[in-house]
A and B are shown apart, each in its own frame.
Chain A
Amino acid sequence: MSDSHAMETPLAVEHEARPELRHHFADEQQQRNAASLGMWWFLGTEIMFFGGMFCGYLVYRRMYFTEFAAASRTLNLPIGAFNTVVLLCSSLTVAMAVRFAQLGNRKMQVRMLLLTLVFGLAFLGIKGKEWGDKYKEHHIPTFNHYNVISGEGALTNVKGNAELLGLDKITDPVKRQQREAEIQQRTKIFYSLYFALTGMHAIHMIIGVGIFIVITWMAHKGRFTPEYHTPLEIAGLYWHFVDIVWIYLFPLLYLIDRRGA
C-alpha cells in the first residue's frame, strides 16, 4: 500500500503509534464513523438487491395465489421454523461477541464467534437438506423430472391442497388435464422464486461465514480492543442484515396459507 511512506512527517510519526489508523483520516473516530456509514449504505443497496426479487414474488403471488399457497404447503414448516431459530441464535451470539469486545473479554469473544460459525453452518446444512428433499420430490424447476401433479411430490399429497386448487371438483378429464398443466406451470414460478431467494440468501450466508472465519481469527489474535473493534462491528451488521432477510423469507415462503394444517 502506498500509504507506507506518508509524506507528512508529523502525521506519519503519529500514525506509527496507532497502527489501525489509516493515513487519510484525521482520527479514529472519523475512521470508525466512515466504516460504519459505509456498511450501512451497503446494507441499503442489499435491501434493493433482495427488493427486486421481492417485487417479482409479490407480483406472482398476487397473480397465482392458490398455486403459490399450495406449493408453499409442500415446504417443511417445522424445519423452516427450526432454521429460523438457529439463525436468531447466531444473531444473539454475534451481538454478544461485539459486547464482549466492548468489554475487552477476548476469551468469551472468541467463544461467541465460534458459536456463530456453528449456527451459521448448521443453518446452511439444514437448508441443504431441505433442498435435497425438494430434489427427491421433483420440485426443482431446473430438472426435466419436475412434477407437482403425480408421484412423491404431488401437491395433492398435502392435506387440503386438492380443494384449494379446485382439483376435487373437476370431473371432465380434459379440463382436469388443462388445470393440471396450469398448476404445473404456475408452481414452477413459485419454486423458481423459492430457489432464487433462498439461494441468494444462502450465498450471503456463505460469504458471512467466510467473513466470520477471518473475524474469529482476528479476535483470537487479540486484535479487538474496547477502543477498536470496527471490523467485528461492521461484520456483525452484515450478519444481522442477512438474518433480517430470512426473518421475512420465512413467512413469505413457508406461511402463504397454512390454515387448517
Chain B
Amino acid sequence: MANHSEHVASARLYWLIWLALIICTVLTAYVATVDLGKFNTVVALGIATFKATLVALIFMNVKHTSEKMTKAILISAVAWLLLLLFLSLADYSSRLAG
C-alpha cells in the first residue's frame, strides 16, 4: 500500500553536513573576535542562516520532500516573522532617529 518513494540520503552526505556545521560554528566563534567594523553582525547572522539552511534542507529533508506545502509554510512563517521584526523596528528606528 505504501507507494511513496521516500528519499534516502547517503550517510556520507549527513556526515559532510555535520562537518560543515561544526566548521561554521568554530568559524563564527573565531570571526567574532576579529574587528570587521559593522560587518561582524552581518557575518555572524549570515553564518547562522547558512547553518540553519543546511539543517532545514538536508536534515529536515526540505530539499527532497514530496510535500509541496513544506516550503510554502516555511517561507510564509519566516515572512511573517520578518514582518513583525521589520514593522516594529521601523517604528523604533524612525522614532529614535527623530
Contact = CB atoms under 8 A, between A and B. Distances in A.
Direct contact of A and B (CB under 8 A): yes
Contact of A18 (B1, B9, B60): B1
B65 to A, nearest CB: 8
Interface string A26-67: 011100110011001101110110011011001100110000
A43 B92 contact: no
Interface of B: 1-4, 6, 8-9, 11, 14-15, 17-18, 21-22, 25-26, 28-29, 32-36, 40-41, 44-45, 47-48, 51-52, 55-56, 58-60, 65, 67, 69-70, 73-74, 76-78, 80-81, 84-85, 88-89, 92-93, 96
B4 A29 contact: yes
B92 A95 contact: no
Interface stretch (A5-13, A96-104, A126-134): A96-104
Contact of B59 (A63, A85, A95): A95
Contacts of A77: 29, 32
Contacts, number: 148
B28 A47 contact: no
B48 A91 contact: no
Secondary structure call for the A interface: helix
Nearest to A249: B48
Nearest to B50: A247
Contacts of B60: 236-237, 240-241
Nearest to B7: A102
A91 B58 CA distance: 11
Contacts of B9: 95, 99
A96 B33 contact: no
